[in-house]
Amino acid sequence: MSEQSSNMVALMEHAAKALVEKPAEVLVESFDEDGEIVLEMTVSEDDMGRIIGRQGRTARALRHLLRAASMKTNKRYELEILE
């Protein structure tokens, strides 16, 4: 994992931990898929609603944050929230 990828992982972990009730159960992993870096986020089942938000607004905001932060790296990042 490159330094830039680890920064994006840390960014998503930090944002998610601020939103949930069980921050110890937040896990973000990255892997390369077809030239795109995919970040997979897992949270506690109880916190799934907090991460997704009403009509997906919180999840969309996290994806926008990731996209804005990745503009410096000139790489594509995708956030997947796993159930």
- Would you state the pLDDT for residue 2? 67
Residue 35 main-chain phi, psi, to 5 deg: 75, 5
pLDDT, one tens digit per residue, over 23-48 is: 999 999 999 998 899 999 999 999 99
pTM of the model: 0.90
Over residues 48-53, mean pLDDT: 96
CA-nearest of 68, 74, 79, 62 to 19 is 62
Does residue 3 have a pLDDT over 90? no
CATH of segment(s) 3-82 = 3.30.300.20
d(CA 44, CA 20): 9
